[in-house]
Structure formats: structure tokens, C-alpha cells
């Protein structure tokens, strides 16, 4: 059975999520923004082996722990979409801008809209490209559990910032209204920061999209 745990990492209190299969003892980490040792310790606590890293977008607070994780265990990385390559290449400058430790670039498997991936057994995810917060940002829809892992595209009562380089407010709102809001209304929204929400709640009350 698939379940997940949320860890709050980085100075920005980013929601890093560990999905695990308690039958196969496999785990996948989504958006490991910092605290590599804590993330790996949590994986071990569930007696699992890390099999994959998933990324929603290439901002440093969502990928900062990846080099340190790869130093411990070599696993494939999935995401985001290829339009985020300039942001991946800017990790060094991002670290300077936010006063964080330098983060080395890494190789990833770029994803495309509608792609189906299964990083661990029974974690079947549909990739939804959601440009706006970054040009190559993606969300992951886990239909079997009615979950949407949406990074910084959509928050409870808010939306992602678009004042960073290559951000676009118009693209962001289009992504939310014409892709995310087409999902079942009972879908639980797992955002990159802050509390969970639902598609229904955001459709009816998010001030940026009503």
C-alpha cells in the first residue's frame, strides 16, 4: 500500500514528501529541498530503500538536498519539464541570492505533459505540465489516492509567485484554471509550502482564480 510522510525542510519550510510502499519497501522522495540526512533517516525509519527522486520545479528550495542524497545513494531523478533547464543551470546564482550553500547541478529525466510514470510499485503518477511559477514546472496526479502534488503552482488560498526569473502570472493562472481545476473536485492538493487543500476549495475561494 502507498502512503506518504511530509517533512518540513529548508529555511523556507518547504514540504518535502516521502512516498513509500510498505509491501515492497520502496520509497520515492518529492522535492527534497534541504536536510538530506533527515530525509534519508526518515526513509530508513520506514525500512524502505530510496528508489527515485521527483521534482516539481527547479528552485533551490525544492532541489537543494539532491547532490547530498546522490552522494549517499544513486537513484534516478524525474522532473521537471525541459523548459526548467535554465533554472537548473542557475542553481549557483540562486544559492547566492538567498544566502544558501552552493548546490551542484545534476542530471534529470525531463518530463512531458500527460506522461505516466511509476517511480515505485503502485505509485502511478500522471505528469501535468503547469508553467507559470517556472516555465517547466510540473504537477503529479495520483488518481488512485485522489492526490495532486503541485509544488508551488497552487497553494491553499493562494498561488505561486511569478516575480522570479522566467515566471509568468498569465501562464500560471492558465495552468491552474485549465488543467488543475479540471481534476475531480475532491482531489487533495499537496502544495510545496503550507497546508493541504482541495480542488473544490480552491475553485470556490481562491482569490486569485475566482
Taking only the tens place, the pLDDT of each residue in 139-183 is 999 999 999 999 999 999 999 999 999 999 999 999 999 999 999
Q: In what order do the strands lie in the sheet with 147-151?
A: 116-117, 125-129, 138-142, 147-151, 188-191, 197-198
Ordered structural domains, the chain, with CATH: 2-205 (3.60.15.10)
Taking alpha carbons only, the member of 50, 88, 93, 57 closest to residue 72 is 50
Global confidence as pTM: 0.97
Taking only the tens place, the pLDDT of each residue in 69-124 is 999 999 999 999 999 999 999 999 999 999 888 999 999 999 999 999 999 999 99
Q: Which residue has the cell 521537471?
A: 80
Amino acid at each position: 500500500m502507498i502512503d506518504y510522510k511530509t517533512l518540513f525542510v529548508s529555511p523556507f519550510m518547504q514540504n518535502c514528501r516521502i512516498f513509500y510502499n510498505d509491501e515492497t519497501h520502496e520509497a520515492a522522495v518529492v522535492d527534497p529541498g534541504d536536510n538530506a540526512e533527515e530525509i534519508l533517516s526518515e526513509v530508513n525509519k520506514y525500512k524502505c530503500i530510496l528508489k527515485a527522486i521527483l521534482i516539481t520545479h527547479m528552485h533551490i528550495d525544492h532541489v537543494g538536498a539532491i547532490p547530498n542524497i546522490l552522494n549517499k545513494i544513486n537513484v534516478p531523478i524525474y522532473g521537471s519539464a525541459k523548459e526548467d533547464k535554465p533554472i537548473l543551470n542557475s542553481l549557483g546564482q540562486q544559492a547566492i541570492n538567498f544566502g544558501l550553500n552552493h548546490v551542484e547541478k545534476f542530471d534529470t529525466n525531463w518530463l512531458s505533459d500527460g506522461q505516466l510514470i511509476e517511480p515505485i510499485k503502485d505509485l502511478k503518477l500522471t505528469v501535468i505540465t503547469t508553467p507559470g511559477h517556472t516555465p517547466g514546472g510540473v504537477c503529479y496526479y495520483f488518481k488512485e489516492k485522489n492526490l495532486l502534488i503541485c509544488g508551488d503552482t497552487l497553494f491553499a488560498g493562494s498561488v505561486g509567485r511569478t516575480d522570479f526569473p522566467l515566471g509568468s502570472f498569465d501562464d500560471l493562472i492558465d495552468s491552474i484554471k485549465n488543467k488543475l481545476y479540471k481534476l475531480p473536485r475532491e482531489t487533495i492538493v499537496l502544495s510545496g509550502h503550507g497546508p493541504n487543500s482541495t480542488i473544490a476549495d480552491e475553485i470556490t475561494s481562491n482569490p486569485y482564480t475566482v
